[in-house]
Amino acid sequence: MEHQASAHHDEHPPTTIREYVIIGVVLAVITLIELWLSYSGLSHGLMISLLLIFSAMKFIIVVAMFMHLRFDSRLFTRLFIFGFALASALLIALIAMFNFDETRSLFQASAPPPAATAAPQDGGDGDNGEGPADGGALLVKGQPVAEYFSSTCAGCHGQNREGVVGPALTPASLAGDDALYFDTIKNGRPGTAMPAWGATGLSDADIDVLVTFITTVEP
Amino acid sequence: MAAGTHEVEHHTSLGVDNRKLLMWIFLASECLFFGTLISTYLIFKGQSLVGPYPDDILDIPLTSLSTFVLLMSSLTMVLAVYGAQHGRLGMMKAMLFATILLGVGFLGFQVYEFRHFAHVGLNLGTNQFGASFFVLTGFHGLHVGIGVAYLISLLFGSMRRSGLGKDRALWVDTAGLYWHFVDIVWIVVFTVVYLIPS
């Protein structure tokens, strides 16, 4: 028995039961602090930074002490860090890619549009000059219709209305009756991803503007 | 003479046990698996066109409780490993059993949460948030479920054929690695999905 105990001496970490329990309590306390933080009303940036720091602490404590990496072969540490670093790089790359997408539509759905920057582009669209079909002059919820489309519809229908998840919405592709398009925008299309915009506060007048826009203005 | 006492310690060129190495390689690849799901969640959560939205529906206090349960299961797991490594079989079995119970408890919270969300109208197909949320937390739950089965098999193994002795502590150790990994994934998911406001 003693022989085995000494033979295995190097195989298990030196941590005692008492230390493990203390580590468990520390993890629980950090979780409590995180819970408090999420209700603390601190500024957004500060709160997120603190939350990330605290969860990183928990992560490292568990990996180092409970998974014994602190005492185990360095090979395991390197392997795990390699996988973790790849995953982190993937996360950063994906988020950056979607955040800085030039169309900007994916992240702008609910945020107010950046006031000055979007305007010239819409002016350019409107210069086709088709009287009432001038995309720059028509407003949906107080925004130029092209801008509204870009921030709300383009996620599914494409920035140039070429169709992505949803169908293309250009004068050439829309040969049906305006009433059909009005109904689709207002009530959605059951069984598809098209929501009922009438239920989300889009007025009939706004929908009329959108129908005019997609059926008469070339992208 | 050494052969009898060290049946488990095969000599390997890397100087580490192959099973443990395999588990660490697997866990490194799992980082990428969950990294992808978490990225997808972060990208999709703000893109829902219809509700319910994350802020309407996520129950932070309840999930804190289930997070606590999973954290404590990590503590009992490490104590089970301790028991196995120090030849304290009774402690190992009790702690394995406690870990299984806590794991099942965590799954219970998740089942409740999923049912509640379905009841208020959020499911996999409702919106982008629902799709990415259920895929992420569902796969995590699946990992917990597999972990529970893994631990149950260890517990039964330790009861048969005169037990999982000290020489077989590595089996418990390896299972522990998997279990703790599932816990640290939840540490990240809890912060990213629940605590950080959208």
Instruction: Answer whether residue A104 is part of any domain.
Output: no
Is the Cβ pair A90, B181 closer than 8 Å?
no
Residue A80 in this model has a pLDDT that exceeds 90? yes
Is the Cβ pair A55, B61 closer than 8 Å?
no
Q: What is the per-residue pLDDT for A203?
A: 86
Q: What is the per-residue pLDDT for A7?
A: 39
Both A95 and A127 in one domain: the answer is no
Q: What is the per-residue pLDDT for B69?
A: 96
Is the Cβ pair A15, B82 closer than 8 Å?
yes
Instruction: Answer whether residue A12 is part of any domain.
Output: yes
Both A37 and A74 in one domain: the answer is yes
Taking the Cβ of residue B98 and every Cβ of chain A, the question of whether any pair is shorter than 8 Å is answered with no
Is the Cβ pair A195, B49 closer than 8 Å?
yes
Q: What is the DSSP letter of B194?
A: I
Number of CB pairs, chain A paired with chain B, less than 8 A apart: 159
Which residues of chain B neighbour A87 with C-beta distances below 8 Å?
Answer: 31-32, 34-36
Closest Cβ opposite residue B36 in set A90, A107, A156: A90
Distant-in-sequence, close-in-space partners of A46: CB < 8 Å, separation ≥ 6: none
Taking the Cβ of residue B14 and every Cβ of chain A, the question of whether any pair is shorter than 8 Å is answered with yes
Instruction: Answer whether residue A109 is part of any domain.
Output: no
Q: A139 - beta bridge partners?
A: A144
Banded model confidence at residue A102, pLDDT cuts 50, 70, 90: low
Which residues of chain A neighbour B39 with C-beta distances below 8 Å?
Answer: 90-91, 94-95
Measured CA to CA, the distance from residue B62 to residue B80 in angstroms comes to 27
Banded model confidence at residue A116, pLDDT cuts 50, 70, 90: very low
Best mutation site among B187, B193, B194, B198 for testing chain A: the one with the most A CBs within 10 Å? B187
Measured CA to CA, the distance from residue A212 to residue B88 in angstroms comes to 78
B41-92 confidence digits (pLDDT tens): 998 887 777 878 888 889 998 999 999 999 999 999 999 999 998 888 889 9
Distance of CA B182 to CAs A27, A106, B147, B178, Å?
15, 31, 8, 6
Residue pair A113/A151 in contact by the 8 Å Cβ criterion? yes
Kindly state the tokens that stand for B45: 């959560």
Residue A106 in this model has a pLDDT that exceeds 70? no
Other CB atoms within 10 A of residue A176 CB: 10
Tell me which chain B residue has its CA closest to the CA of residue A46. Answer: B196
Is the Cβ pair B181, A67 closer than 8 Å?
yes
Name residue A163's amino acid: G
Other CB atoms within 10 A of residue B19 CB: 14
Residue B124 in this model has a pLDDT that exceeds 50? yes
Both A136 and A201 in one domain: the answer is yes
Which of A30-34, A159-163, B107-111, B134-138 is least confident?
A: A159-163
Is the Cβ pair A63, B180 closer than 8 Å?
yes
Is the Cβ pair A83, B197 closer than 8 Å?
no
Best mutation site among A10, A15, A35 for testing chain B: the one with the most B CBs within 10 Å? A35
Among the candidates A99, A127, A154, a domain finishes at: A99
Both A68 and A25 in one domain: the answer is yes
Both A135 and A91 in one domain: the answer is no
Q: State the Rg of chain A over Cα.
A: 28
Which residues of chain B neighbour A190 with C-beta distances below 8 Å?
Answer: none
Is the Cβ pair B28, A83 closer than 8 Å?
yes
Closest Cβ opposite residue A55 in set B61, B72, B191: B191
Instruction: Answer whether residue A106 is part of any domain.
Output: no
- Fold exhibited by the domain B15-45+61-195: Four Helix Bundle (Hemerythrin (Met), subunit A) (1.20.120)
SS3 per-residue string spanning chain A: CHHHHHHCCCCCCCCCHHHHHHHHHHHHHHHHHHHHHHHCCCCHHHHHHHHHHHHHHHHHHHHHHHCCCCCCCHHHHHHHHHHHHHHHHHHHHHHHHHHCCCCCCCCCCCCCCCCCCCHHHHHHHHCCCCHHHCCCCCEECCEEHHHHHHHHHHHHHCCCCCCCCCCCCCCCCCCCCHHHHHHHHHHCCCCCCCCCHHHHCCCHHHHHHHHHHHHHCCC
Closest Cβ opposite residue B191 in set A34, A68, A91: A34
Q: Is the dihedral of CA A85, A91, A95, A101 positive or negative?
A: positive
Which B residues in the span 139-198 are in contact with A, Cβ-Cβ below 8 Å? Answer: 166, 169, 173, 176-177, 180-181, 183-184, 187-188, 190-191, 194-197
Taking the Cβ of residue B90 and every Cβ of chain A, the question of whether any pair is shorter than 8 Å is answered with no
Is the Cβ pair A95, B42 closer than 8 Å?
yes
Q: What is the mean pLDDT of residues A174-191?
A: 83
| Domain harbouring A190, CATH code | 1.10.760.10
Measured CA to CA, the distance from residue B143 to residue A188 in angstroms comes to 38
Among the candidates A64, A99, A134, a domain finishes at: A99
Measured CA to CA, the distance from residue B85 to residue B89 in angstroms comes to 9
Instruction: Answer whether residue A108 is part of any domain.
Output: no
Best mutation site among A91, A107, A148, A165 for testing chain B: the one with the most B CBs within 10 Å? A91
Residue A177, sorted as left (phi over 0), alpha (psi -120 to 50) or beta, turns out to be beta
- Global ipTM: 0.89
Residue A124 in this model has a pLDDT that exceeds 80? no
Measured CA to CA, the distance from residue B103 to residue B148 in angstroms comes to 6
What is the count of structural domains for chain A?
Answer: 2
Kindly state the tokens that stand for B117: 């969300």
Q: What are phi and psi of A140, to 5 degrees?
A: -120, 120
Measured CA to CA, the distance from residue B32 to residue A94 in angstroms comes to 13
Q: What is the per-residue pLDDT for B114?
A: 95
Both A123 and A95 in one domain: the answer is no
Tell me which chain B residue has its CA closest to the CA of residue A41. Answer: B197
Which residues of chain A neighbour B58 with C-beta distances below 8 Å?
Answer: none
Percent of chain B as helix, strand, coil, to the nearest 5: 80, 0, 20
Other CB atoms within 10 A of residue A36 CB: 9
Measured CA to CA, the distance from residue A133 to residue A217 in angstroms comes to 6
Q: What is the per-residue pLDDT for B74?
A: 96
Name residue B51's amino acid: G
Banded model confidence at residue A9, pLDDT cuts 50, 70, 90: very low
Structural domain for A211, as ranges: 119-216
Among the candidates A68, A99, A130, a domain finishes at: A99
Quote the crossing angle between the two packed helices B89-119 and B128-159, to the nearest 10°: 160
Tell me which chain A residue has its CA closest to the CA of residue B85. Answer: A12
Measured CA to CA, the distance from residue B165 to residue B174 in angstroms comes to 14
Residue with the larger pLDDT of the pair B137 and A103: B137
Kindly state the tokens that stand for A77: 């540490």
